[in-house]
Amino acid sequence: MHTLDQLHRGELKGIVRLQLSDNLTDFPEAIYDLADSLEVLDLSNNALSRLPDDLCRLKKLRIVFCSNNLFTELPSCLGRCPQLEMIGFKSNQITQVSSSSLPTHTRWLILTDNQITDLPDDMGRLTRLQKLALAGNQLQALPDSMVDCKRLELIRLSANQFATFPDVLLTLPRLAWLAFSGNPFCAPRDSHDEFKTVAFGDLALHQVLGQGASGVISLATWQRNLFGFDDKVAVKVFKGQVTSDGFPEDELDACLAVGYHENLVTPLAKVHKPDCSALVMGLIPPHYTNLGLPPSLASCTRDTFAEGQILSIATIARIVEQVEHLVAHFCQQKVSHGDLYAHNTLINEEGHVLFGDFGAASKYGNLSTERQLGIERVERRALAFFIDDMLSICAEKDKQSEAYRTLSEKADLQI
């Protein structure tokens, strides 16, 4: 994080990335002093409602983040920035997105949690678009021209107003990560009476084990254990607001709809009270670690890995086999996970996989057979990308093996 004082004193000359959060209401003119070097501009968490028309003076600008501000329209000046390819305006008050505000070479567009009702008719000209996050808006349809967004790999459409499933998505040859829950065309949430319901008063929450966009996971013990569960469990308390993936209630619904599987974190019981939902889960043993790291700005939609991380082809094959069984289970339960990634995968020293995080999951059993099959093709494509990512960290000595060739061909068939 930088400060206005640093900017005005000229201390930031030559920097590539600028991050300012200081209750700004106006764009600081001193930012132009960085025009020869600035590539990433992050003005999130301010009170801005406009950007200057001459923003293109920042001639090297590639990335702009202005989340949690007061914009009511996506600024048209963005479309005149010659190098701009990543745009993030999450959690503003945007109702309008004009064609002129979107550079043709846009690769990453984040407009989550706004009030957008329509996208430009010519969205299809964004042929480099890979990642599109639109959850928590008022969209009722996608432009037909999006059939030309053939590089699109990830889209989030949850918590909008789609009356029918947007079929244009099923024509996109690289789409792999899709979230659409919380729309009028979706099946209603299930009460999941097959799971026990417990009261918050039955549990005592202890230290936080992890947290994400949709909620906080804590270690818990029972004050009153009525059903013979293990003494120590994990409890995920869901936040009430829309997340980058959709409504937390839909995550809970999808997680319970998937049910039990040896490679899933075990759901045990529901916790419910007005304005707050939670899930009691089996405690993950401490020797499980994350298989991968989230995508970076450079990789956009693809996972990253720790520096020097290498796995044998035997370990990779064991991991892939388990994830394949898991995807088959998702299809059987008619739930699209929507976020099949190594960074959502836990693994122990024996190579056993545990999977979780249903924030982007969507139920689709109420849709037509054709749409169901299309959604399952999308999920299998995510599996293919998963395999491809795993092969990127394969030991060099194993890259000529038959197992490596088999997995590589399996990935190529779906990508």
Residues annotated in a binding site for ATP:
236
Residue 140: CB partners within 8 Å, gap ≥ 6? 117, 160, 161, 162, 163
The span from the CA of 62 to the CA of 350, in Å, is 42
Is 342 within 8 Å of 386 (Cβ atoms)?
A: yes
Q: What is the DSSP string of 80-94?
A: G-TT--EEE--SS--
2: buried, middle or exposed (CB in 10 Å: 19+, 13-18, 0-12)?
middle
Contact 369, 261 (CB under 8 A): no
Residue 53: count other Cβ atoms within 10 Å of its Cβ: 10
Q: Which helix (DSSP H) or strand (DSSP E) does residue 274 occupy? A: none
- β-bridge mates for residue 363, sequence order: 335
Other beta carbons less than 10 A from residue 29's beta carbon: 10
Give the whole-angstrom CA distance, residue 186 versus residue 363. 7
Annotated binding-site positions: 236
Which phi and psi (to 5°) does residue 229 adopt? -70, 165
Instruction: Kindly tell me the burial class for residue 332, based on how many C-beta atoms sit within 10 Å of its own C-beta (0-12, 13-18, 19 or more).
Output: exposed
Q: How far apart are CA 86 and CA 88, in angstroms?
A: 7
From the list 339, 237, 351, 243, the residue with the least C-alpha distance to 287 is 351
Identify any residues that bridge with 364 across adjacent strands, giving them in sequence order. none
